[in-house]
């Protein structure tokens, strides 16, 4: 995948990743499947893992990390995550908690009810439209 992706494109691809790979709750991706030699990008994923794969990153990449050669991918993943957080509502805007906020929503932790697969995909599509309009 190229680094000239937009947050909207990443979010649409993230929806495709969840649809294709399956949804995983409790971690970025099904690391047990990866331990059985399933490639990480083919494992079931949470929303953060799906956004990462769609941006060309490993599913378990943390967004604040800036490493040579992947900075643009991290930035587009973070921007896609911000658009999703805006659609979900309640995010306080601190980058260091963005992944935690999205994971809590996806997994139904804290004050969030656990969303269904259809609800996750609907929010991702809504966020992609929002990202495109910015």
- pLDDT tens string 13-31: 999 999 999 999 999 999 9
Exposure of 134 in the CB half-sphere (CA atoms within 13 A): 16
Tell me the average pLDDT across 94-114: 89
The reply to whether 27 falls in a domain is yes
The reply to whether 51 falls in a domain is yes
Q: What is the pLDDT of residues 42-89, one digit of tens each?
A: 999 999 999 999 999 999 987 766 667 788 888 999 999 999 999 999
Residues 60 and 77: beta-carbon distance below 8 Å:
no
| Number of domains forming the structure of the chain | 1
pTM: 0.92
The reply to whether 2 falls in a domain is no
Residue 73 lies in domain: 7-133
The reply to whether 14 falls in a domain is yes
The reply to whether 1 falls in a domain is no
The reply to whether 74 falls in a domain is yes
């Amino acid at each position: 995948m190229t680094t000239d992706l937009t947050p909207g494109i990443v979010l649409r691809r993230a929806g495709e990743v969840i649809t294709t790979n399956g949804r995983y709750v409790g971690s970025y991706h099904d690391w047990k499947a990866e331990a059985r030699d399933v490639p990480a990008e083919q494992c079931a994923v949470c929303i953060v893992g799906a956004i990462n794969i769609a941006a060309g990153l490993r599913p378990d990449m943390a967004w604040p990390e800036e490493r040579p050669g992947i900075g643009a991918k991290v930035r587009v993943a973070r921007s896609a995550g911000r658009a999703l957080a805006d659609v979900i509502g309640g995010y306080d805007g601190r980058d260091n908690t963005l992944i935690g906020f999205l994971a809590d929503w996806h997994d139904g932790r804290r004050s969030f009810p656990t969303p269904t697969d259809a609800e996750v995909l609907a929010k991702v599509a809504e966020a992609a439209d929002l990202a495109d309009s910015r």
